[in-house]
Structure 1
């Protein structure tokens, strides 16, 4: 029997196996590592995993992190499996800020440090630097996790500090932060506006920025991940009730 082409093995077979096996397969050779790291492979693998038997819920409590399969027939959870934190943490210390393709951006609440963490492979990366990048403050900052056209996983960090807004992008490929410009209305710097985590869809991160007051302003801030340009679009009409 003729040998199967590498492309067939990677995109027809390995896109159907569990993520743990994909991680181990990356060590076969440089060609496999390159193909298994592309966004095309990730997209196909995720689409083939999106069946009811593969759905999981990750829960973090004071002491442990556990994964629960979802049983849709009974609207219940199956037996859990424990995920060990590979990084130092304290009780009730880890907050999930954003997620994409199984990769999580989390914050250690006692140090304010940001981390990238893959619970499946247990790999993680500290994003904090000596020059104060990679530190997150709840209710002031916003986080968005995305992939650009070059298949580089990135973190967008919007920081509000004493009326000053700074926007920073972390690249996993080059392992560094850089500042990018953000022209916006001055009132969005106020703590009266809430910035939730960004939602990544179709090459754009979307932030639904809402004023805390009843009947206050609502707006959607869009970030094009390839041009790194921001724009503002109107919020859908909200009934007065």
Structure 2
């Protein structure tokens, strides 16, 4: 009962505090650190902060990772704070692939197959390629997306393109394991003539645009329903050449 009461206190009250304050409160005790580090609290806190008009923007330069306040749509340069990165590498080697829930999914150039989850607030980092199977990510061929399922488990969806086939793998932060999903049947999904974009999350669906290099009419989008874990193909509307009609006097 005591733990349940504290969990309600954390989710309903502490989740409304700024990120910096939450980070300090994690040092109060082991219980506070445990509750304020949970997937559920992180999800609730992110959603509350997302509705805040005062947001922050992270900027990656050649020499630093900068954090700025964004107040009322205006970037405050004077609020600049430098964020340290927990890996000893030149910042020009970092590639930010996609971000969601305050988490950044990224890779490091010149280190083959490294796919990394980084939380800039806590400065915690997990190399997903330390898990089986290894050599899992190819920057030139693969696409990734982040989402939170109904159980508040942060998951990574990876679309691997191997020998003209697409192998979808899903990583769970709760279990720290990968599992293979079923993909669509049909030709050309793994063709190297398609360029894969990172996934965009909208209404519990991840969308992966896949434009064709030479023939725009062949372009399509792969949609992934995060609840049913089912893929579907969405055709991209083609340009009809109709610009508009001008009003004419009768």
TM-score using structure 1 length: 0.84
CA distance in 2, matches of 1:87, 1:32: 24
CA drift of 1:8 comes to 5.7
Aligned 1:150-169 pairs, distance under 5 A: 150-169=151-170
Ranges in structure 1 where 5+ consecutive residues have no aligned partner: none
Structure 2 counterpart SS, 1:193: coil
Structure 2 counterpart SS, 1:189: coil
Deviations 1:147-201 (A, max 9, x none): 1122111111111133232211111111122222212432121111111011122
- CA 234–31 in structure 1, closer or farther in 2 if over 3 Å, else same: same
| Residues 194, 209 of structure 1: 8 Å contact kept | yes
CA drift of 1:203 comes to 2.2
TM-score using structure 2 length: 0.81
| Residues 15, 45 of structure 1: 8 Å contact kept | yes
1:67 match: 67
2:211 match: 210
Deviations 1:72-104 (A, max 9, x none): 475664431100001232341111111111011
The answer as to 2:72 corresponding to 1:80 is: no
- CA 180–73 in structure 1, closer or farther in 2 if over 3 Å, else same: closer
1:52 match: 53
1:10 match: 10
Structure 2 counterpart SS, 1:167: strand
> Greater CA deviation, 88-97 or 28-37?
28-37
Deviations 1:88-136 (A, max 9, x none): 3234111111111101111011113011100111011111137553643
CA distance in 2, matches of 1:48, 1:91: 31
- CA 31–22 in structure 1, closer or farther in 2 if over 3 Å, else same: closer
CA drift of 1:210 comes to 1.3
Q: CA RMSD in A?
A: 2.7
CA distance in 2, matches of 1:11, 1:129: 32
Structure 1 counterpart SS, 2:216: coil
- CA 31–92 in structure 1, closer or farther in 2 if over 3 Å, else same: closer
Deviations 1:3-28 (A, max 9, x none): xx636632342122122332444564
| Residues 22, 36 of structure 1: 8 Å contact kept | no
Structure 2 counterpart SS, 1:80: strand
Ranges in structure 2 where 5+ consecutive residues have no aligned partner: 243-250
| Residues 155, 172 of structure 2: 8 Å contact kept | yes
Structure 1 counterpart SS, 2:175: coil
Aligned 1:190-209 pairs, distance under 5 A: 190-209=191-210
Structure 2 counterpart SS, 1:220: strand
CA distance in 2, matches of 1:126, 1:134: 12
